Structure 1
């Protein structure tokens, strides 16, 4: 698998661009192809998701473009919000000479405020003439969709069979299991049955975006869209591997760029009885404020990890667990078969790293899960205490 630096433009036939003006950004992805999507599991669903789902159903997945704005979520905005999301699609459709139902729409930003449609119209006019292919175009689109993110998130790969998968994403806060205030736009040239594409996307999301936790909150606007130009034949296995790698790398970038974060946590749970148990433990640990603050303070209080695992509801036997910490240089076994081996000194050294790997082996089964999170800092509180002002 070869890593590329061109994001969504790794796929021939995809053109894109974006603009960022203060808090407000807009990106357009022009892609004549077939699309599937996975949406937030929050019961409060933002207008753009309602419109996108309707458009995909009405066109049986065939699309011409995606439009995404940042700075305003268009959530909790009632019927007017749906009309505004449709208006975004209509404006772009007129410029592309297609039906508005062939346009998908996404939004991210503050909840409860009406969409600044006039501003969006102006930005569409600015972005349309700039649509292009290549790494710079993908970067511009990635920049346009970020909110509190400090870095863009894009990734692409080419398989040994010359199939391409590339994506851009945003997300730094309100990140929790079952997707969060995150948007991901993934493009490919793989030609596979449409139901297979949906299944592949769901599987990748479950092991990537659904395993990222920054703060435990789940947004109204989550969406991952997979678009294919259907130009290249490939096996399901080949495509799934490429999609998994792309989504996992984008998810890892989200955790690393968590609001106010100074440390990335990569947690692997092994030896669980079931996959659900492994995921449940990983999510509980990564969500724990006590664990996250200990990581921030470089406090070797590993007991918080074990306590979180124990309250997760997953089956475990404390007499069998093994706990290890590691970074790129060192590793330390803290618990081995339920017995404490190391308490503080070696752990402190590893906790000074900006990436901390935690391995928890339950030793009662064969199921595994990996999740990503970050520390909880003073800066996170500052960012979210004043988000709407």
Structure 2
């Protein structure tokens, strides 16, 4: 996939990952870019997140992005802060930009010093190009595949997104590293006004395992080189973000199935989000999905503790387009429904019949492979 006008990217294997896979990616902004940014609410946030917040508060334009994978540079003390600043300096030198115009990000194991020396030696090997795929590969950790998405606007402007995320994902912010690039001419003030709501409705509705990462961030960057209709632009942004969110959920650690939960009839949108996330994140329901077990009681229980307002005798629940609960138990063919749950995507549709609020959430099944991956993560 190719970047919009005004952006070039590249990647290399600098030796951070023992596997020798690509682990350092850079995006060059050929023109100073407007941007918007949201980051994790985890109190143990990594230096890259703290630095990003500082840049954001100063309202500067950016000229680059650098991401390393395989090392989170988190819980590494003052040395970690210095190492993150050095990462920005190295990328800025490579790009011919000022260090304060480069956003940094790190992802990987917590508590291990960032091997800046390896980055110093490796960054010069990066070849910048319009293709985004090498960068998309370099930011992965336990992901099994790259995550890319694109929308084209009338007149030629484009919105292109890239993300990584597989484990330690739970709604608090944007729940991963996710970056959207556009050549649409959009003022920075407008980006910052609208981007948080996009992240809230998409990335914040992803849950894999109930853990919120220390390094999560999501950002959008605009080179401003193409004209675009504002309404159509934000529709495209939302679609790219939604697509990336679904890809992240489907690639949850050890996942075999994507779980989609659609809630309608909630008291308000906030309640709809709560209800959808509770079901998508229920460990009991995730395990049931893995086992193809249409155990609707686990869905109802998750709704009950979600914080959403509703009366159980008014609720309707459908699974794979089959009604399984409507104010009470209803008869259904359990064998046929279990077979339907063997699909790559399992869809739960809920009507709370309490208002007009609606929302979606995405998760994945809970498998034995998830336990193995996280039991052996650093050993």
Match of 2:352 in 1: 362
1:66 pairs with 2:65: yes
User: How far off its partner does 1:181 sit?
Assistant: 5.3
Bigger shift: residues 41-50 or 92-101: 92-101
1:16 pairs with 2:18: no
User: 1:174-323, aligned counterparts within 5 Å?
Assistant: 174-179=168-173, 182-323=176-317
Q: Distance in 1 between matches of 2:186 and 2:175?
A: 29
Match of 2:103 in 1: 104
Preserved CA contact (<8 Å) 1:180 1:217: no
Aligned with 1:353 (options 319, 343, 363): 343
Aligned with 1:25 (options 23, 26, 30): 23
Q: Structure 1 unaligned runs (5+)?
A: none
Q: Distance in 2 between matches of 1:311 and 1:258?
A: 24
- In structure 2, relative to structure 1, the CA distance for the partners of 1:56 and 1:364 (3 Å cut) is closer
User: 1:322-341, aligned counterparts within 5 Å?
Assistant: 322-326=316-320, 331-341=321-331
Number of aligned residue pairs: give it. Answer: 372
User: 1:41-52, aligned counterparts within 5 Å?
Assistant: 41-52=41-52
Bigger shift: residues 18-27 or 63-72: 18-27
Q: Distance in 1 between matches of 2:156 and 2:196?
A: 23
User: How far off its partner does 1:236 sit?
Assistant: 2.9
User: How far off its partner does 1:160 sit?
Assistant: 2.3
Superposition CA RMSD, Å: 1.5
Preserved CA contact (<8 Å) 1:319 1:339: no
User: How far off its partner does 1:313 sit?
Assistant: 1.8
Match of 1:173 in 2: 167
Q: Distance in 1 between matches of 2:95 and 2:364?
A: 41
Preserved CA contact (<8 Å) 2:163 2:176: yes
Q: Distance in 2 between matches of 1:362 and 1:341?
A: 20
Q: Distance in 1 between matches of 2:22 and 2:129?
A: 21
Preserved CA contact (<8 Å) 1:50 1:82: no
Q: Distance in 2 between matches of 1:263 and 1:123?
A: 37
TM-score between the two structures when normalised by the length of structure 1: 0.92
Preserved CA contact (<8 Å) 2:319 2:349: yes
User: How far off its partner does 1:211 sit?
Assistant: 0.3
Preserved CA contact (<8 Å) 2:148 2:162: yes
